[in-house]
Amino acid sequence: MRKVSLAGIGFIKIKEYWERPLSALFADAALAAMKDAGTDKLDKLYVANMGSAVFQDQLNVGAIMADAISKPHLPAVRVEAGCASGGAAFHEAVREVASGYSDCVMVGGVEKMSDVLPESVTTLMAMAEEQEYTAYTGVTNAGLSAMLHRLYLDSYASPEEVGMMAVKSHDHAVNCGHAQYPFKMSIERAMASPMEADPIHSMECSGIGDGAAAIILTPLKGSGIEVAGSAVATDYCSLCHREDPLVFNAVKTASDKAYKMADIKPSDVDLAEVHDDFTINGVLSLESLQFCEKGKAASIVANGGIERNGVIPTNTFGGLKARGNPLGATGVYQIAEITLQLRGAAGEHQVKDAKIGLAQNMTGLASTCAVNILRRTDR
């Protein structure tokens, strides 16, 4: 297998783009990534997208995005794994380069959520749950996460400690040019916000936004940013089939594989981007990634452990909560942000001496999870 290098990244600010189509958002990110990589000679395109069939009545987005960037003959395909589409598509793209099949592969994530009413987004997000057992009941992702949140509060932490996951993410988003919500939010404001699904406050939920991010992968030559580990895993889709609903087995399985590939321990990771679509899911992800013991993450978060100089700097540009969560594009944003960190190009978001970064992207309360680990090779 060849080592794979992050040769270029591109992304747009996450916000509501009322006047622009899906393909234009994608093209902006893709062209920026090609410029960053200094090449437009693509061999293959993987498009990560969750909701376009519902939001835009659009399928076959592989060909459509290839056409949009003036590559009308490129092999192109869409990878969909719900909200984990970005991380899962990146995983496939890594294999395409590592195996020697292709020398220059783009993985681009795109999502346009503002074309529909918010309730349609809620419905779409629930489609990551199995209709036959779970989604048909009408339960939302917030509702399912609320059950985990309640269980966690019963044993391990206060509402404020869990809520600090959102507060810290907002702290990190300040002055982030591509973040949807680049401002501070206090724990008092979070706790005073209306309940989305008790005990989850609305200010503990990621929002609705449009975004696109793209990455170009090539074989590693000399030094650079390499993909050190990459894995996807699944779990029982229904929470009621899981032995312990507070352990995300897919996160654990995928991270175990990725750590092994990278030949590192969780404590070797210098920064992480975790899937904090709801505060509780960010907290549980930190635990299932094995950065700390079960039940400890909320208190670590509340005590500054995920800050830039903390034990595990996390969501350094704001995470899903404050940078934004354009579903299928989110996992690609995570990896682009880690690339900025490892390049030492993260500006005031910079984690000092960052050498190893981990991106964790999941869907359906971790019924699918992708974990990708990047490493700066010695310069």
Residues that bind a copy of itself (CB under 8 A): 1, 21, 23, 50-51, 53-54, 56-64, 66-67, 71-82, 84, 88, 91-92, 95-96, 98-101, 123-124, 126-132, 135, 231-238, 241, 249-250, 253, 363-364, 367-368
Q: Which is nearer to a copy of itself, 88 or 217 (CB)?
A: 88
Within 10 angstroms of residue 19's Cβ, the number of other Cβ atoms is: 6
CB of 68 to a copy of itself, least distance (A): 9
- Measured between alpha carbons, how far is residue 226 from residues 33, 156, 162, 343 in Å? 16, 37, 33, 11
d(CA 273, CA 330): 10
* Residue 107 identity (one-letter amino acid): V
Q: Which is nearer to a copy of itself, 80 or 196 (CB)?
A: 80
CA angle 126-131-136, nearest 5°?
80
Which residue has tokens 């030492």? 344
Pick between residue 72 and residue 347 the one whose CB is nearest to a copy of itself: 72
* Rounded least distance, CB 118 to a copy of itself, Å: 17
CB atoms within 10 A of CB 339: 22
* Alpha-carbon span 207 to 118, nearest angstrom: 10
Please, which residues have CB within 8 angstroms of residue 24's CB and are 6 or more apart in sequence? 17, 68
- From the list 273, 331, 279, 285, the residue with the least C-alpha distance to 111 is 331
Question: In angstroms, rounded to a whole number, what is the distance separating the alpha carbons of residues 325 and 118?
Answer: 14
Least distance (Å) from a copy of itself to the CB of residue 1?
A: 7
Question: Residue 243 or residue 293: which is nearer to a copy of itself going by CB?
Answer: 243
Handedness of CA 72, 3, 343, 82 (dihedral sign): positive
For residue 101, the minimal CB distance to a copy of itself (Å) is 6
| Residue number with CB closer to a copy of itself (50 or 146) | 50
- The answer to whether 82 and 128 are in contact (CB under 8 A) is yes
Min CB(148)–a copy of itself separation in Å: 17
94 versus 179: smaller Cβ distance to a copy of itself: 94
Residue 196 half-sphere exposure toward CB, CA atoms < 13 A: 25
Is residue 9 classed as helix, strand or coil in its secondary structure? strand
Least distance in angstroms from the C-beta of 258 to a copy of itself: 12
Shortest Å distance, C-beta 126 to a copy of itself: 8
Phi, psi of 128 (to 5 degrees): -75, -15
Nearer to a copy of itself, 90 or 317 (CB): 90
Quote the least distance from Cβ 180 to a copy of itself, whole Å.
23
Quick one: 129 or 287, whose CB is closer to a copy of itself? Answer: 129
